[in-house]
Amino acid sequence: MADALRLGPLGFGGANLGNLFQAMTDEDAHAILQTAWDCGIRYFDTAPHYGLGLAERRLGAFLAGKPRAEFVVSTKAGRLLRPSPETADRLDEEGGFAVPADTARVWDPSPDGVRRSLEESLERLGLDRVDVLLLHDPDEYADPDASIAAAVPGLVGLREAGLVDAVGIGSKSTDALLAGVRTGGLDLLMVAGRYTLLEQPAAAELLPECRRCGIGVVVAGAYNSGLLSSAQPREDARYEYGAVPAEMLARARRLAAICAEHGVELPVAALQFPLRHEVVRAVALGATEPGHVRENVRRAGVPIPAALWEHLAAEGLIQ
């Protein structure tokens, strides 16, 4: 099923549309999405979690003027949004989004919760269907295995009913993703930060299992929250949405130095690295301004000599 979806190689990751870390206007969001569209990107990922529904509303407003057959949308389930008037006077500190916390996230991976999540996402998006529905961050549940066991039948039921084309899990935990693969019911995984130029824990077991089971992969977080997004990694860059550990900064700078030896900028290699694996269908990248989208498209087309990959492998930096 994943092979039939027109995803890649570049998709648009919608977390920033929910005001992740900093606010943007509706006009700014529209300009970023329009640039992605003009650059040929047709796969858009979002989630209720992103800005407590704001990212879905902004994406839906943009796509309202586009032919439905020409784009692919994935959204996520597992977090229902419910009114929270008692926190409406503060910002969403839980998610790190610069939006009023006038709704609260309520975890519900049950089949009924998954269905309600899809229905509510469709209302925010203004669409009658999405192409892909992913269980979002089951690793953050108290019992990830139980949440996956509860959610997957609901996801599969929605697919079998023709309400979505493909189902899967989106997570930064290889253990949670592997547990999902082993249910036997999934089509697609969104692997966040676990198969990047910086680190590849998904390479050992997860990606071979995906190959064996015919499951496609979308890689999110290819820049590791920004650490690999500049030619020279900075100490004040983010990693895993927080401060950069010293060992990761040193590793990123070693990667940058080797890339420079081969005349390649670090972000170019970071973007293209995941796409070398046969199960990876797309890399989903966010943006906070239109120029970021154009730059990512440029980076995707830069030729990279095979000698760079050989050098990185010889150094034990990639698998």
Inter-CA distances, 80 with 53, 105, 156, 167, 170, Å: 10, 6, 19, 18, 16
Inter-CA distances, 310 with 18, 153, 294, 304, 307, Å: 39, 43, 28, 11, 5
Give the C-alpha separation, 121 to 128, whole Å. Answer: 10
Place of tokens 């995906």: 210
Active site residue 50: yes
At position 266, the amino acid (one-letter code) is L
At position 77, the amino acid (one-letter code) is A
- How many other CB atoms sit within 10 Å of the CB of residue 189? 30
Given the residues 43, 50, 195, 239, select the one marked as catalytic: 50
Please answer whether residues 223 and 270 qualify as being in contact, where contact means their C-beta atoms are separated by less than 8 angstroms: yes
Please answer whether residues 88 and 47 qualify as being in contact, where contact means their C-beta atoms are separated by less than 8 angstroms: no
Give catalytic residue positions: 50
